[in-house]
Amino acid sequence: MSFRRLKAIAKKELLHIVRDVRSLSLALALPLVMLLLFGYALTLDVDRIQTDVYDQDHTPESRALLDQFRSSQYFEIRSYVTNYKTIEKDIDRNDILLSIVIPKNYSRHLLAGEEADVQLLLDGSDSNTASIALGYADAIIQVYAARMRADAQIRRGGQAPANPVDARIRVMYNSDLKSRNFIVPGLIAVTMMIISSLLSSLTIAREWENGTMEQLLSTPVRPRELVLGKLTAYFLLGMADMVICTVVGIFIFDVPFRGNVLFLFFACCLFLFGALSWGIYISATSRTQLQAYQMGILSSFLPGYMLSGFVYAIREMPKVIQAISYIVPARYFVSILNGVFLKGVGFQVLWVEIAMLAGYAVLVFAAASRRMRLKVA
């Protein structure tokens, strides 16, 4: 391998990138736009749940229960209704997610120490959000009911029963349970997977369309030198995008960064090298930029978004899909970013993910070099 030829290819590609101002601006701006758009728009937090109240009891006890919901950050009481028909209409129009129905004689049963029913009506169209809202509401009711039973027993001259278990919860790494702290690092991985594949997937196909590939084939440049030369130019651009995304995640979205910067840089280099190599491989198999673009989107966006664990938990997927996810490099990079950002772990914990990224990078680079034949097919 000749360093001189490698340097010439890299310089040629860098000049092409710099002279194409619109493509360069798009390559630098697109990751930032995607990160800001998805970072603000995509959230898994369920709060301010729009709620209707149908209180048929109208007693201090029923109002005390409603006060528990009103003081919670998860529920926002929208209106007080007087019949079920209004509740159905509000749910049909997506005005509310939850309705609390307190039946008659609720306070009488509660004060007598009997079972006091409370009805919760939910819109189950979005099953995930509905189940989370139901869990919040059930927790509030259970805590309130336990306190009421204890107070009633004290009033009857007894002693409040002691809790057999005193649960003290400590949430590690993401104490506020903000989904943004998990989403933004995953967004960086998915965004860079898409951008890297698209940047490099057009380079060889463009050479064929412009008729300049024949000129390259007439030179003594070897396949690996051609692939590495083109990778070097786009690698620098990809690292610039990675720095932009990381800075935005830390300083705009306030995602905590607890890990080692050098380890993160090393992991980013491995991931970018593999993603860019995959783009080169796609470009080498395509003769038109349109075909390369379509293959790049199909092989980067869908696997990176769906099978990386960024939005959907991999352990909840069918076994076949879980097996397929092992060949998606974004899966390992998402784990690395979450570990570095939130947990502050390093190579001792994430060595398996690093090894998988390294193996993927070497394998795809070898495939791209083999595909790049110095002859006109």
Q: Which amino acid is at 342?
A: L
Model confidence at 26, pLDDT cuts 50, 70, 90, reads confident
pTM, entire model: 0.77
| Weakest mean pLDDT among 23-32, 116-125, 327-336 | 23-32
The pLDDT of residue 352 is above 90: yes
> 180 with 43: CB under 8 angstroms?
yes
The pair of three-digit structure tokens given for residue 335, joined into one six-digit string: 């784990």
Can you list the positions of beta strands (E) in 258-373? none
Which range in 205-214, 301-310, 335-344 is most confidently predicted, on average pLDDT?
335-344
Model confidence at 356, pLDDT cuts 50, 70, 90, reads very high
* Average pLDDT over every residue of 316-324: 88
Q: Which is higher by pLDDT, 213 or 229?
A: 229
SS3 126: coil
Cα(312)–Cα(323) distance, integer angstroms: 15
Q: How many CB atoms lie within 10 A of CB 201?
A: 30
Who contacts 174 (Cβ-Cβ below 8 Å, separation ≥6)? 181, 182, 342
Among 5, 10, 8, 4, smallest CA distance to 203 is for: 10
SS3 97: coil
Who contacts 33 (Cβ-Cβ below 8 Å, separation ≥6)? none
**Going edge to edge, which strands form the sheet with 75-80?**
75-80, 49-55, 98-102, 119-122
The pLDDT of residue 54 is above 60: yes
The pLDDT of residue 152 is above 70: no
CA 65 to chain centre: 36
| Weakest mean pLDDT among 125-129, 147-151, 153-157, 241-245 | 153-157
Q: Write down the domain spans for the chain.
A: 3-43+178-371, 49-155
How confident is the model at residue 27, as a pLDDT? Answer: 76
User: Which H or E run includes 120?
Assistant: strand 119-122
| Weakest mean pLDDT among 22-31, 80-89, 100-109 | 22-31
Model confidence at 373, pLDDT cuts 50, 70, 90, reads low
8 burial (CB, 10 Å; 0-12 / 13-18 / 19+) is: middle
Q: Which is higher by pLDDT, 98 or 161?
A: 98
How confident is the model at residue 159, as a pLDDT? Answer: 57
β-strands 119-122, 98-102 pairing: antiparallel
Q: Which is higher by pLDDT, 178 or 104?
A: 104
Cα(311)–Cα(377) distance, integer angstroms: 42
Residues 49-155, CATH architecture = 3-Layer(aba) Sandwich (3.40)
Cα(92)–Cα(77) distance, integer angstroms: 17
How confident is the model at residue 359, as a pLDDT? Answer: 94
The pair of three-digit structure tokens given for residue 259, joined into one six-digit string: 């890990």
Model confidence at 155, pLDDT cuts 50, 70, 90, reads low
pLDDT, tens digit (0-9, with 9 covering 90-100), for 166-199: 556 666 777 666 777 888 888 888 888 877 777 7
How confident is the model at residue 164, as a pLDDT? Answer: 47
